[in-house]
Amino acid sequence: MPQKPHKEFSKRLHQAWDYAGIVKGRHRTAALAEYFEVSRESARKWAVGLSKPASERLTAMAVQMKVNSDWLSTGRGTMELAESVRETPTKYDNAEEVRLVGLVRKLPRKKQRALIQLLEET
């Protein structure tokens, strides 16, 4: 059985996923791989504590999940950001929904508005 050198990070990552409102279940890792644009294997390794994302990616993940990046990385401090206003967490029910959100975020603002207009017409 492989050792889990990042077991404590894995625990914090699961807490952050719960805090962000990412639905638990068997498709959670696949959905997160899509959302954070990494392979399913990378997401799986993070989830079970076999590896840890690079510092830049970890910071981006903390920002997306609205948690303290120092806490996520090292366990120091508290999970919640100091003096921040938090929206109600969004629930991502499936990989397609997560993928769609990721793709929309990559679009230029003008194309995002055009897509919103198109969707509102239907």
Per-residue pLDDT at 2: 63
Per-residue pLDDT at 13: 93
Per-residue pLDDT at 8: 94
* Token pair 């068997």 in the structure block, residue: 26
Per-residue pLDDT at 102: 74
Alpha helices for the chain (secondary structure H): 7-19, 28-35, 40-48, 55-65, 69-74, 95-106, 109-121
Q: Residue 60 is encoded by which pair of tokens?
A: 């981006």
Per-residue pLDDT at 28: 83
Per-residue pLDDT at 7: 93
Ranges of residues in the chain with a pLDDT under 50 are: 85-88
Could you give the domains of the chain?
A: 7-80+93-121 (1.10.260)
- Residues 55, 32, 74, 10, Cα dihedral to 10°: -130
Contact 31, 98 (CB under 8 A): yes
